Structures are given as C-alpha cells and as structure tokens.
Amino acid sequence: MADIAAPKLEDSQDSWLVYADALQSAGDPRGELIMLNQAVEAGASAAARDAFLDRHADAIFGELARFRGQVEIDWKWCVPRSLSLKIGPRDEPLALAKASLSSPLGAQMQTLRLVALTPSQSDRVNLVPALLELSKGLSTNCTALELIDDRARRSRILVSSDYSPSNNLVDFGNLNTIWAIPQLQRVHLVVADTEQVKLGQIDAPELRDFAFLGLRWGQPYRDQSEMAQTLAAAKWPKLQRLALRIPETYTYSWPDQDGAYVSVDRYDEEGDDEYMDDEGWHEDMNWSAELGGLLDALVQTKLEQLSLTSFASASNLLVALAEHGLPASLQILDLSASDLGDEAVGWMLEHRQLFASLKTLDLRDTLIDDASPLAALGPEVLHSSGGGAIYRFSVGME
C-alpha cells in the first residue's frame, strides 16, 4: 500500500477526503474504502463496501483474509476502530492472533475484541496462547482490549448442584499476560464465574476504564475473595471508570434454568411440587468486608464513574459506601439493575452528604417504585422500576 501520511482519526472530514484522493491516485484501495465507509456512515447500504472488500481482501486484510468469516470491523474512514475476532471451539486462536498482528489492520486498530463462542455447553475455548501472543506484539495504536465469553454475555444465571460451579467454558489463563501490554487504556471482561478468572497482579499505568462483568461474585460464606483483594491492590493511577457486576448466591430446591450459562441435567426434569422453591434463599453478603479494601483504595484515585450492579444485599451495599466513602472526583454512581427498594430512598436522603458531589445517580431497573423524593438529593437521578438483580448464581439443593 502507498506510504502516505494519514490524518489523525479525529481530524476533519476534509482532511480525510484529501487523503482518500491521494491514496486513489497512488492506486491504494484504502482511498476508495474511505469513500465507501463515508457513504455507509451517511446511511447507504453496506453491500457495495462489502463487495469492494471481497475484491481487495488480500491488500486490506493481509493474513486475516483467510479468516474473513471470523472478523468483524467497526470502520472509521479506513481505520478499524474496533476489530472483533470470533473464536469457536474448532478454531485456532493462536493462528488468528498471529494473523491479526501481521495484518495491515493490526497496526491501525484502536480496539481488539476477542469473542469466544461455545455453541454447545460441552464446547471449550482456550484463549491462553492467543493472549500470550498478543501481549508480545500488540500495536501501540491498540489501547483497548475486550475479552468476551459470548455464552456468558447472553446468560443471566449460573446454575450448579453445589457451591462450586462447573468450569467456565472459556479459559483466559492468568491475566498478567494483558497487564504486560503497557498502553492499554480500556479493558473489559465478560465472563461466567468471576472467581475462576485469574486477574493476576494489576499494574496498568495507562488504564482509564476497567469492567469485570460475570454471573457470580464469589461466596458469602468465606473471607474476602481473592479477586476483591486483587482489585484493592491494583495499580491504576489514571483510572476513571470502574464497572463491576456483583451477583450473589441463591439456594433453591429446584432452580429455574431459563437463561442459564450451563444447565444441570437433573434440574431439566420436572420436580415434585413439594420441592419447588421459586423464591430462593440467600445469605446477605457483607459488602463492606468484601469490597471495603477496594473502596478505600478508590477514595485515593480520581475515579469519575463507579458502576456496582446486580447485587441483592442492597442495604449492606449502601452501608459499605457510607463506611468507606466515595472518591471526591466521582461524578456518576451506577447502582442500577439491583435490589434497591423503596427503603433505600429514605436512607439516601439521610446520608445525602455521601451523594452531594455526584452529577448522576443511576437507579434504573431497581425495585424502587417512587424515586421522586430523591430530587432533593442533588445529582440527576435516573430511575425506572424493574426486576432488580436478574444476574445470580443459583444453587440447587437435594
């Protein structure tokens, strides 16, 4: 391809159209790709652009051309804002990683997303070799990494016949591999059982945005979880946004498996009515003990947005926030999709100083029916009544 200096991604349209003309004059297919992507962004069908990519796959995709069916790209001009690799149980993650690094797109992509697909609950995907390869060669232009267990993304509960769920279907290995990539500014993880994910030792000097979303947050019957200790000890001096989904453990006689990550055969059978327990039972989580170390550490940061969602022990979570405080820099507190109820409204008004510096308090999809009194709290309150904490770990008992 032509060696012509490209504008910055945020530069004006005129700059990019001049660049497109220069590329076309040099016979570089990226020039026409810029024009086609601009047309798609303006509302045109993507068919012409996709046909063009088919004709010029080798030039534009390089080694990734043979994996076209597993690649999705969000384009801006001719730059892949995000490049997604869909990896199934019969694919070769290492080969895909190597191809993405050697592809012309690998030097330009802003975000790399690895999406692990397990069509059957007996399938497995091992991303460890691929992540190790990426840690050694990811372009400095790529500042965001997303690791997604797609089955977990589409599920709402983790089901087990005891308090130790079966192994996650996707193996990410020890995430020290990704902390070895110094330029990362955003890391998002979507997993099944968070306790099975080895977070490693987080030392991320450029990290601004970290999300860790799963279907289970440890056990309420043990000391502080290893992952909570790891997060409390994290070195992320530039962190601005932190999102944790913290689903709790429920015990059932016969758990509902609708939306389960992996169903348990015995619960697929119809249980006797005397054993049915639709409500479930859970022991309240001591969130101050579990997340206190993290909250204390965050107070020392310049965090702007904190998201703690899908918790059931609502009063305990509020107490944890009151006991450990919030960063003075915090602008958005997201407690959505949780079991916060109407009693939380009075508590928040009594502890209004805790929320005084916020700009936004997100209480959407909670069990609160009337949030109107919170208008006196100070921040903008986003509210809708919903089903509360829909994500959970469901344990079926004998």
pLDDT at 253: 82
The residue type at 297: A
pLDDT at 223: 75
Return the minimum-mean-pLDDT range out of 273-282, 343-352, 362-371. 273-282
Please tell me which residue, 223 or 207, carries the higher pLDDT value.
Answer: 207
pLDDT at 222: 67
Mean pLDDT, to the nearest integer, of 75-84?
A: 93
The residue type at 333: L
pLDDT at 82: 95
CA atoms within 13 A on the CB side of 218: 20
Mean pLDDT, to the nearest integer, of 4-26?
A: 88
Is 278's pLDDT higher than 80?
no
Q: What percent of the chain has pLDDT over 90?
A: 82
pLDDT confidence band for 333 (50 / 70 / 90) = very high
CA distance 213 to 191: 6
Return the minimum-mean-pLDDT range out of 43-52, 182-191, 336-345, 356-365. 43-52
pLDDT at 4: 81
Dihedral through CA 236, CA 238, CA 241, CA 242, nearest 10?
10
Using one digit for the tens of pLDDT, what is the confidence trace for 108-154?
Answer: 999 999 999 999 999 999 999 999 999 999 999 999 999 999 999 99
Using one digit for the tens of pLDDT, what is the confidence trace for 287-299?
Answer: 999 999 999 999 9
CB 184 within 8 A of CB 145: yes
CA distance 337 to 24: 50
pLDDT confidence band for 281 (50 / 70 / 90) = confident
pLDDT confidence band for 283 (50 / 70 / 90) = confident
Mean pLDDT, to the nearest integer, of 74-98?
A: 95
Alpha carbon of residue 396 to chain centroid: 28
pTM for the full model? 0.94
Which tokens hold the place of 344?
């939380």
Is 328's pLDDT higher than 80?
yes
pLDDT at 243: 98
Is 334's pLDDT higher than 70?
yes
Can you list the domains of the chain with their CATH numbers? 13-55 (no CATH), 143-396 (3.80.10.10)
pLDDT confidence band for 273 (50 / 70 / 90) = low
The residue type at 364: R
Which tokens hold the place of 75?
């384009």
Closest CA to 112 of 127, 125, 91, 124: 127
Is 2's pLDDT higher than 70?
no
Dihedral through CA 182, CA 225, CA 242, CA 80, nearest 10?
50
CA distance 96 to 64: 7
CA atoms within 13 A on the CB side of 137: 15
Is 316's pLDDT higher than 70?
yes
CA distance 196 to 194: 5
Is 269's pLDDT higher than 80?
no
pLDDT at 397: 77
Using one digit for the tens of pLDDT, what is the confidence trace for 160-203?
Answer: 998 889 999 999 999 999 999 999 999 999 999 999 999 999 99
Is 271's pLDDT higher than 60?
no
Supply the mean pLDDT for the chain.
Answer: 93
Which tokens hold the place of 135?
């840690």
Place of tokens 């059931």: 312
